Amino acid sequence: MAENKTIEVRYYGPSSDDFVTYTSKLALTNPGEGSPIEFSVREAHFRISRNERIVLDLTLDDNIVWNDGEKSIYVFIRNSELGFIRADTELSYSWWVVWENGTSTTLREGTVTAVRVD
C-alpha cells in the first residue's frame, strides 16, 4: 500500500532555474521485515497533476535515480521544471515503480502544496 504524504514544492521565479528545489529519498524494504528488498527497479515515475492533467512527469534517469546497492530511490526536481506554478495552489502527485518482474507498486501519493516565490 502506498504511503499518503503531503509534499511542498516551491518555484523561485525564472532567474534561478538550475538549482534543485525538491528532493526525496525512499529506502525500499520488505513489508513487515524492514530488510532491503531483493530485486531491482526497471522503471520509475513521479507525476504531479492538476485536475487529473499531468503537469510534471519524471522518469528513471530523468531526475529519478535508483541506487541498486542500497535499494533506494531518489527524486530531484529542479526549479526550471516548476514553471507551471503561476500562483500558490494544491495539486496531486504519485510516485511509483515497475519492478524487474513487470509488476508495479505505488510508493507514495498525495497532495502537493505548490508555492510560487517571486
pLDDT at 2: 66
What is the four-CA torsion angle of 82, 85, 91, 97, rounded to 10 degrees?
Answer: -10
Distance CA 85, CA 23 (A): 17
Q: How far is CA 51 from CA 9, 45, 89, 91, 92, in A?
A: 17, 18, 12, 8, 8
Mean local confidence (pLDDT), 58-76:
94
pLDDT at 31: 82
Considering the domain delimited by 3-116, tell me its CATH architecture: Sandwich (2.60)
Nearest to 37 by CA among 24, 46, 52, 27: 27
Does residue 16 contact residue 78 with C-beta atoms inside 8 Å? no
pLDDT of residue 39 exceeding 80 = yes
First-to-last C-alpha distance (Å) of the chain: 38
pTM attached to this predicted model: 0.89
pLDDT of residue 6 exceeding 80 = yes
Does residue 72 contact residue 28 with C-beta atoms inside 8 Å? yes
pLDDT at 113: 97
